[in-house]
Amino acid sequence: MKKGFFVAALVAALAAAAAAFGGNTPARSGPTAAAGPDTALIRCGRTRTIGVAAPVTGPAASIGAQQARWARFFVTRYNRANKRKKLRVIVGDTQLPDTAQAIQVAERFASNSAILGVVGPAGSQEVQVSTAPLKSGGLAFISGSATRTTLTTDRTRRGFFFRTVPNDDQQGPKVASHIRGVVRASRVVIIDSQNSYSTGLSDTVQRILSNSQVNVRRESVNEESTTDFSSLIARIPSDTQVVYIPWQLAPKAQLFGQQLRTAGKTAPIRI
């Protein structure tokens, strides 16, 4: 993920907690803060604490490790420039795509009265399962990478969840335009990875391409558990011009690409 999206998410988390700066009421205490978000102020002292929910270890560590590094980099720069008011981040390892870990991180953050807001979670499926505990703790959470459109159209998260990255309904047309206008492909295979991020974006791109008279074949695979993609690859027609795989796990996308080439299929891959 580009650093700009993450830094923007971190800044947004700080803005969400800005009303707390200089307040005189007791520290946030979960449900109490959630009951009156427009009027409650928070005494936060000289140090403001932001939670960062990211997959620091596990299959998606290439995403989360960078998010954690950028958080610490931003805080170091901020604290160097601001002598009186300091920032601190607490990183929670969500281990995407293991949503159980995301729930545990959200619960820990919600129970920590020092945390004023949360950057993350990273994945759309993590946002979905983290909503209840973060809301119960009165915490706003801002993601720089969760794109599923319904995350912000669903009333469940209204007033609590925000993001700094375009959603599927904004990204999908750009992907479809690239496939049609730049690659000029008329025969496309879309392979989703059976999670809410991948299926949402795949649905949008498939709909736009199909409406533009592009021949689209849709496949699905569990990227987390699959190591042998041979049966999937066998179903990809040899005249396919583009294979689109909106996956979260870069190592699995690389493995799929290697096996695709080994099978003698030369269609370019878009991720």
H/E stretch holding 259 reads helix 250-262
Domain 3-163 and domain 168-270 have a common topology: yes
Answer whether 50's CB lies under 8 Å from 85's CB: no
Instruction: Please give the CATH architecture assigned to the domain spanning 3-163.
Output: 3-Layer(aba) Sandwich (3.40)
DSSP state of 242: E
Q: Is 159 left (phi over 0), alpha (psi -120 to 50) or beta?
A: left
Q: Which CATH architecture has domain 168-270?
A: 3-Layer(aba) Sandwich (3.40)
Q: Which residues contact 262 (CB under 8 A, 6 or more apart)?
A: none
Closest Cα partner for 55 from 116, 100, 121?
Answer: 121
Which parts of the chain sit beneath pLDDT 70?
1-45
pTM reported for the whole predicted model: 0.77
Per-residue pLDDT, 171: 93
Domain spans of the chain, in order of start:
3-163, 168-270
N residues, the chain = 271
* Residues β-bridged to residue 89: 50
> Which pLDDT score, from 0 to 100, does residue 84 have?
85
Q: What is the dihedral of CA 24, 27, 31, 32, to 10 degrees?
A: -30
Instruction: Please give the pLDDT value at position 152.
Output: 93
Strand order across the 242-244 sheet: 215-220, 187-192, 242-244, 269-270
